[in-house]
A = this chain, B = another copy of it.
């Protein structure tokens, strides 16, 4: 995703602390060529895929190659009161990587080793810079796979830090369910371990789950132990068109309520189908569409598919198209994979603002239909895709970055959507995290009391506020 131009509403407060020269000298003395102050390197580490582009870059970038490197860098930051922001591949959508309070970036990209594969236990331990595609490549011979797929080829450190999920979460869960244990560098530069390789434990506070989703504000993850899954014996994919978004969503609700263990079920609205047809010449029916995937034994997959087909038929679903070979599956999923690029191309020069609400599935139709009506009424072009099995969906408002009015319209739609999702018992962010963009929404969602508890934990574990400060909530 290209970085959209900054919105007037979205200029974060910047209050960069001074980085003492003595600190920079100590950093260079310790890290030599592993430390860069070149502007181009700093700029590359001072932005992400969010709408924020007005924040000056960090003062230096350390390329960590070991847990020791991370611990030493954090200890120096602690000694000098300098902020430190962990960096994976920079695919955050919410401004997580921006140095709003200054400080340095720690690039964990060189810590990209798969440390231990335990096929018998269905676990793997990786360094944080390993990306999800790299991991699946390296474990291919074991017959196992790591299912979490947020779209981008993000690092497992970044995915853990933002509690990411994606298309497979409806069956396999999110990073919350799939991180078993961690090695963490704390704010004082100490190294601790959380969790074990055992599948379950009641041994004290769940520090693993506290770290997962803490967005680099409570510690820097230096090792991650993950659950793996046997590659399904059979995989089958299908697409199906529906007369309306409501019909598609009602089908999904019934599939989930019946307990069909569907592995993926993605909604694409008719706008997006039209955009994808234009972009990739797919000739798909220009109606809302579900893309589905079934994993299991050959008989199990057949049974799941039959059940879903029956349900879809009840709601007017038609033009079911099936694929079982990897090539055919890839072709069917083209529409989903190209949705973003097709949408961007549909309005030359536009930028997309992506939403991330998630609601209880019974409220999904209400939330979606009202939001679609509002977006239609606004006149702003948009695309709509969703991990609808989980109640999570993304509008992408396509706006002319040079038109402040359109920016206002997009932000207005986003605010209205989040307010609706919260009223319906949902969350402002299903999988992207809070970062800078959703700090206001988080207060609405969690309430002052819960935010106070988060702040109290942050202050206790990071008394100098050096770990990715200024994110999630104001201190």
Contacts and interface: CB of A to CB of B under 8 A. Distances in A.
A115 to B, nearest CB: 13
Contacts of A120: 253, 257, 360-362
B454 A457 contact: no
Nearest to A307: B297
A430 B204 contact: no
Contacts of A433: 202
Nearest to A191: B449
Q: How many copies does the complex hold?
A: 2
Given A198-B359, A206-B212, 15 more contacts: A120-B360, A122-B257, A163-B201, A163-B202, A163-B206, A176-B209, A200-B392, A201-B430, A203-B446, A204-B472, A205-B472, A206-B206, A299-B299, A456-B461, A457-B457
B202 A432 contact: yes
Interface of A: 118-123, 162-165, 169, 173-174, 176-177, 186, 190-194, 196-207, 209-210, 212-214, 218, 229-230, 232, 253, 256-259, 261, 297, 299-300, 303, 356, 358-363, 390-392, 425-434, 438, 442, 445-447, 449-454, 456-457, 459-461, 472-473
Contacts of A165: 200
B200 A206 contact: no
A431 B200 contact: yes
Given A213-B202, A229-B259, A425 B164 contact: no
A318 B256 CA distance: 38
A425 B198 contact: yes
Which of A121, A199, A438 counts the most chain B CB atoms within 10 A? A199
B430 A205 contact: no
Nearest to A300: B300
Nearest to A461: B456
A152 B196 CA distance: 26
Contacts of A452: 192
Contacts of A359: 198
A472 B425 CA distance: 34
B258 A230 contact: yes
Contact of A213 (B191, B205, B459): B205
29 contacts: A120-B257, A121-B362, A121-B363, A122-B257, A123-B360, A162-B202, A163-B200, A164-B202, A165-B200, A169-B200, A173-B200, A174-B200, A194-B450, A196-B445, A198-B390, A198-B426, A199-B392, A201-B429, A202-B213, A202-B356, A203-B445, A204-B442, A205-B210, A205-B454, A207-B454, A229-B259, A299-B299, A299-B303, A460-B460
Contacts of A229: 259
Given A259-B230, A391-B199, A204 B446 contact: yes
A430 B192 contact: no
Contacts of A204: 213, 434, 442, 446, 450-451, 454, 472-473
A24 to B, nearest CB: 29
Which of A210, A256, A472 counts the most chain B CB atoms within 10 A? A210
Contact of A461 (B200, B434, B453): B453
Contacts of A209: 176, 206, 209-210
Contacts of A261: 261
Contacts of A176: 200, 206, 209
Contacts of A445: 196, 203
Contacts of A427: 196, 198, 200-203
Contact of A186 (B199, B207, B453): B453
A204 B428 CA distance: 10
B297 A430 contact: no
A354 B365 CA distance: 50
A449 B438 CA distance: 32
A104 to B, nearest CB: 23
B447 A118 contact: no
Contacts of A425: 196-198
A269 to B, nearest CB: 20
Contacts of A447: 192-193
A457 B449 contact: no
A56 B39 CA distance: 67
